[in-house]
Amino acid sequence: MALWRVCVTWFLLLGGGVFSATLGEGSAGSPTDEVRRVVLVKTHKTGSSTLANILFRFGEARNLSFVLPDDDIRLGWPGRFPGRFSEKLYGRPVSEFDMVVNHAVFNFEVMSRFVPNARFISVVRQPLSQFLSAWNFFSFKGVKNMSSPVFSEDEFRALLAKRHDLPRTTQYRIFNSQSHTLGFTHYSHTYGNAANQTAASASDRTLVQRWMDDLFSKLSCVLVIERFDESLVVMAHALAWRLEDVAYIPINVNRRRHRKIMPPSVKRGALELLTTDSQLYDRATQLLEAQFHAVPGGEQRLELLQRHVTALRSSCSRSTANRSREETDFCWRCGAMQTTYTKLLKAKAGVLCSWPLRSYNEVEARPPPEIDELFHRACISPVERRRAPFDKEQHLPSNTRPPALSRMDRRRRYADGGDRHGAAPARMTVPSR
């Protein structure tokens, strides 16, 4: 197996934990007209983890750079992109990147400075379905009755009573979550009549329509999870990607035994709260319908994509003993969740490593040996991590000296060709097993 060559081109915004890693080897014979600068506005509980996996695999295979969060999940969400950082650097990133994939609130101007000339995409879900999925997936302590299979009216009233006492991250995961992530909260604060207007309480249809007009003028496509395959055909056409590049295995599907059932009375109450998301979803489905019919040979391309998806799932469902090493590596990547893939990209870059890599994977219970060895070679061991807790301040870039590193980091980088003070080599070669 070819050696992984990892070129480290990372930066950390002061106090924010955002860095880039340029990774892997380019894909030979890839189309010259395919779009390689993409920003995914990743919404919650909408199938966005599956879409993120597609983008991670596409970017890694083509040596593209990612803006990655230090917590493996959020780039400032539910606050502004890309998170806490020096005001001196606001809107003036140290470098340019190719992709944003992790959770972030849409901000076209700022994101465009990090990824110039990017195509913006997102994915939405029927609001009641998203609301119930978020309710089943996330923890609502003191509100949710875990022993009951029904989302009762008492639970719903308790949720409304404690709505403003919930943590901000919890509020924006369930109350018009998709609109918030796509920038409506900021838009309503900027252009709305009420200074305290939020995505969860907006009632001004004119304001919502103006926001959606502005939003959809900046997005190349908005996928709809209920029509995911058709959405991928539209996305592949808009980005000039091959259909085999967007074949997928469903990621982060809620398979818990205890899923709440929502009775009609609760559905009616929830819909009254989700007016902004409902208008967004209706607009997105209308746009998708028009875009799909505008794709040349759309129905034939849909059938071809579905064959690619069936072949991928069939290949990855086989026993590891019946797959080649390359197939096993690829199938592990196809099943890797957002946090897992982010950890892998960090490990390949050898900076800001986070534990553990062995998080849940839709396909493989354990990482393939080559990936496991790469991760352990790039990161300090759990024992050393417990002895010396990770300090992200160590990795702040400096114009005058290399960042201060732990003894283990200095030892590792010196062994990989860096200087004895711990400065990273320009290129690191990480051998496979």
Name which of 166-180, 329-343, 400-414 the model is least confident about.
Answer: 400-414
Q: How confident is the model at residue 83 (pLDDT cuts 50, 70, 90)?
A: confident
What is the phi/psi pair of residue 19, to 5°?
-145, 165
Could you give all domains of the chain from N- to C-terminal order, each with its CATH number? 38-297 (3.40.50.300)
pLDDT tens digits, one per residue of 256-307: 555 678 888 888 888 988 999 999 999 999 999 999 999 999 999 999 999 9
What are the tens digits of pLDDT across the range 162-193? 888 888 888 898 899 999 999 999 999 888 75
User: Bigger pLDDT: 197 or 213?
Assistant: 213
The model's pLDDT over 60-74, given as tens digits with 9 standing for 90+, comes to 999 898 888 877 888
Q: Is the pLDDT of residue 12 over 70?
A: no
Mean pLDDT of 107-114: 93
Higher pLDDT, 245 or 326: 245
What pLDDT, on the 0 to 100 scale, is given for residue 147? Answer: 67
Residue 281 is which amino acid?
Answer: Y
CA 406 to chain centre: 30
Rg of the chain on CA atoms, in Å: 22
- Three-state secondary structure along 144-188? CCCCCCECCHHHHHHHHHCHHHCCHHHHHHHCCHHHHHCCHHHHH
The answer to whether the CB of 220 falls within 8 A of the CB of 238 is yes
Full-model pTM: 0.77
Largest CA distance in the chain: 67
The reported pLDDT for the residue numbered 288 is 97
Asked whether residue 2 carries a pLDDT value surpassing 50, the answer given is no
Q: Give the tens place of pLDDT for each residue, 339-373.
A: 888 888 877 766 556 555 555 666 766 777 777 77
What does each C-alpha distance from 367 to 134, 167, 358, 362 come to in angstroms?
A: 28, 34, 7, 11
Question: Which position has the token pair 């860095």?
Answer: 19
